[in-house]
Copies of this chain bind each other. A is one copy, B any other.
Amino acid sequence: MAFPTKVKIVEVGPRDGLQNEKETISAEVKIELVDRLTDAGFINIEAASFVSPKWVPQMATSTEVMAGITRKAGVIYSALTPNMKGFEGALAAKADEVVIFGAASEAFSQKNINCSIAESIERFRDVAQAAKQHNIRLRGSISCSFGCPYQGEVSPESVADVVRRLKDLGCDEIDIADTIGVGTPRHVQKVMERAAKEFPLAQLSGHFHDTYGQALANIYAAMEVGVSTFHSSVAGLGGCPYAKGATGNVSTEDVLYMMNGLGVETGIDLDKVVDAGQFISKHLGRKAVSRAGNAIAAKRAG
């Protein structure tokens, strides 16, 4: 596959990034963050999660956030929907895309939701059908595609199996996610090439974590086998729940810096993303977890 000349960056900071923050972040701040990201040029922003506030209190403001953001035509605002109740919330909030999910690791699935991978995906059939019925985009996300905190290794075949199941539910896009950040470049290429035998490469995305510093090398390697959609999180929002104090989502600023250097088109204004990253980090009372973001901010400060 040809190295892409253009990539789609899905900004996941407002949802995946912020969801584990302990301190409650007001809807106003989240709205400003999403609006800044819209203004920076993203065409897909993961903005909300319609999950029980008992489980993820930080996402309790999702309806308010979705109602408060200034939408731009053509931009997809995505919401995580763990079940039909979540779907109803996302539908009412006018989400453009709903996200369902499963793990590529049997141990992870059993430990986290007490059922098999196959059962966990099957439980999304109603959400998937409802999404189709309402003409809402459907995205499927596969966690632990490169390793699992419980079982260790995860085979490309296990990932391919979940890709097939999500395809069967009608997903428009499928994320291959490295939840614990253990993937390295050749491994990434193997998994992506295997997944592409089950689902169109143009609709596969790479979701990499920088826990071991590998994310950017992995994105570059994935591009070499033709992947052209990647997730990233402004200011590197989102830690790693499996290694306290370790980094999580790859930072959007680092990804954009690489894309700009490679001459790969993103349509996104890096300077505005740096501003958004400094805005939310200041609000959270800590330094952004983005090397490019902090370097650019430091350079500006002189």
A residues lining the B interface (CB < 8 Å): 181-187, 210-214, 216-217, 219-221, 240, 242-247, 251, 253-254, 257-258, 260-263, 290-292, 294-295, 298-299
Contact = CB atoms under 8 A, between A and B. Distances in A.
Nearest to A254: B213
A244 B211 contact: no
A182 to B, nearest CB: 8
Given A214-B261, A221-B220, A254-B213, A243 B184 contact: no
Contacts of A299: 242-243, 246
Nearest to A295: B246
Nearest to A257: B212
Q: How many copies does the complex hold?
A: 2
A186 B262 contact: yes
B213 A262 contact: no
Q: What 3 pairs across the A-B complex have the smallest Cβ distances?
A: A184-B261, A213-B254, A213-B291
B184 A262 contact: yes
A213 B216 contact: yes
A259 B262 CA distance: 23
Given A294-B246, A295-B240, A298-B246, A217 B258 contact: yes
Contact of A258 (B184, B245, B247, B294): B184
Contacts of A242: 299
Given A212-B257, A214-B254, A291 B220 contact: no
Nearest to A221: B220
B185 A257 contact: no
Contact of A213 (B184, B243, B292): B292
Contacts of A244: 298
Contacts of A185: 220, 258, 261-262
| Most chain B beta carbons < 10 A, residue from A216, A262, A294, A298 | A216
Contacts of A291: 210-213, 246-247
Contacts of A253: 213
A186 B264 CA distance: 11
Nearest to A302: B244
A213 B261 contact: no
A118 to B, nearest CB: 29
A175 to B, nearest CB: 20
Contact of A295 (B211, B221, B290): B211
A288 to B, nearest CB: 11
| Most chain B beta carbons < 10 A, residue from A184, A221, A298 | A184
Contact of A214 (B221, B243, B258): B258
A89 to B, nearest CB: 35
A233 B187 CA distance: 25
| Most chain B beta carbons < 10 A, residue from A213, A246, A292 | A213
Given A185-B258, A221-B220, A261-B183, A212 B245 contact: no
